[in-house]
Amino acid sequence: MALEDAKTQVDQAFTRDELRGLTHENTFGGATSFLRRRYTKELRGVDLAVTGVPFDQAVTNRPGARLGPRAIREASALQPYDPPYGWGYDPLGEFAIADYGDMAFDYAKVADFPAALRAHIGAILDAGAGAIMLGGDHYCTLPALQAHAERHGPMSVIQFDAHSDLWRDDDMDRIDHGTMMYKAVKTGIVDPARSFQIGIRTECDDYLGMSYIDARSVHEAGIKAAVARARELVGDHPVYITFDIDALDPAFAPGTGTPVWGGLASWQAAAMLRDLAGINLVGGDVMEVSPPFDTTGATAVAGAHVAMELIALWGWTRRAAR
């Protein structure tokens, strides 16, 4: 059946009629959308919308994450032929998933960006769909969290990252990917007592009540210990997962703005995401994929896999009700 489909399927980003289902279009051809889902701004009947945010004007080191959404989409063309490995169900078949395209914004009006992104994610949520965001630098997570907190109250966050992003910003007005979580905690949209950071390997003077496990501890104690602690903290509270691709060691993800050695291996991240099945995931993102710093494309491949795992996680608790 797949071979027969491959003879007729082309440009599924525009031509597919049904939002559900696998795709057998040639990996190397056709118009590229995320997982060959249909590009659409019409959210009626959509369960989950994937959207790109090509913004990297908040970085402290190397720019390039504005090109992340495009690269992640291209890399994702490897995945829509089969259900994601290890999950035991097919989220692409069970749920109506659309590629909502990239957020439009004026790059020369940076001060307007936070409110615009908050409204962009809010519009998806107001339409009754879940939202998975492809970044873009990690500042983008703050407006996305604001949009989710407006609807769910203070969020639990599971943050995969080399950095805590808890740098002090008492003026609360810096558009800075290093102060994103500081502002989220200080403004009450994230509940630090119900949140957990995984893979940290840079210094932080004050975690503001957030629990964390550093990368070395994951290597030594194992993924089961990290997942157990995450589950204990978030319980059944609404959870947002933000995955900074620099959580992975530069050996696995060199294409990022602030790489730090000693990080997670790809297999560790994959296993932890799958073992989190059952948490009350309401939204998530994968951030800081910077293609100019990775000629192999491996970082974008990792980012596409993370996004697919977030989709599978989002769908896990919703499949029984369908």
235 CB burial (10 A radius; 0-12, 13-18, 19+): exposed
109 CB burial (10 A radius; 0-12, 13-18, 19+): exposed
Q: From the centroid of its chain, how far is CA 249?
A: 17
For the structural domain made of 2-321, what CATH number should be given?
A: 3.40.800.10
Instruction: Determine the pLDDT at residue 321.
Output: 53
User: pTM here?
Assistant: 0.96
Q: What is the pLDDT along the chain (322 residues), one digit of tens a residue?
A: 565 666 778 899 999 989 999 998 988 998 999 999 999 999 999 999 999 999 999 999 899 999 999 999 999 999 999 999 999 999 999 999 999 999 999 999 999 999 999 999 999 999 999 999 999 999 999 999 999 999 999 999 999 999 999 999 988 888 999 899 999 999 999 999 999 999 999 999 999 999 999 999 999 999 999 999 999 999 999 999 999 999 999 999 999 999 999 999 999 999 999 999 999 999 999 999 999 999 999 999 999 999 999 999 999 999 965 5
> How would DSSP label each residue in 44-70?
TT-SEEEEEE---TT-SS---GGGHHH
